[in-house]
Amino acid sequence: MNVREADESDADAIRTIARSSMEASYSLSPETIRGAVKSWYDDKGVVAKLADDDVLLLVGETDEGIVGFSESTLVDARGDILWLHTDPMFRGEGLGEELFSATKQALEERGADTIRGLVLDDNREGNDFYDSKGFHRVGDRRVEIDGTDYTENIYAEKRPPGLATVQGTDGRQLYVDRSDSDRGSKGPFRVVYSDEDREDAYGYLCDNCQSLVVAMDSMGKMECESCGNVRKPTRWDATYM
């Protein structure tokens, strides 16, 4: 299989593979999947992803045509693999392994020194895939899809490093995981915990001004009141369905 960066002409194949792969792997309704795929990978969406320097969109093709694709993002020196899809008709032929290896290598060549994989908890095949790669489940987060809450597991190639500390508004000590962050318009948002075991999530630390952010809407959008740093709605934004 040849893996290359996607271009605008691949949009239709990407939509077809995303839809069939999600229908085979997730317990979401066909209507939800179709709406999500349309919103993420319509022609304008693909063009926007290709133009974003922090987004990596790769396709894998054989003599049969495009049979898989991956979508990843770079946040600081961390590469997050958001999607790794292969055509269900070709599963079991090692195409996912090849696509994963090529995606990981491409992220590292772009400067990522840590690789993470994100997958819904109910996709056992996806979770088992990262387990088989020696990745460690380092946490999870709530995602809302078409009005229903789901758990998305986060796998990391390396175990999380130590935590930094910051003082909360009430004077108590909080713990900042600088390895776990989300992109903002002016800088990353770092995950903050109330405990050193990373079990009690507190909120986020705005890296642009070092202010704590504890409010987020149901779509995952948040804004730092001090400097206006904004995190856009998550990729599971139900308003797009």
Intervals of CATH 3.40.630.30 along the chain: 2-158
- Fold category of 2-158 in CATH: Aminopeptidase (3.40.630)
Secondary structure percentages of the chain, helix, strand, coil, to 5: 30, 35, 35
Higher pLDDT, 239 or 33: 33
Average pLDDT taken over every residue of the chain: 87
Is the pLDDT assigned to residue 4 strictly greater than 70?
Answer: yes
What per-residue confidence (pLDDT) applies to 27?
81
Give the Cα separation of 121 and 42 in Å (integer).
Answer: 26
Q: Taking a C-beta distance cutoff of 8 angstroms, is the pair 103, 72 a contact?
A: yes
Residue 109 has pLDDT above 90, yes or no: yes
Res 239: pLDDT: 33
Q: Which residue has the tokens 């009690």?
A: 200
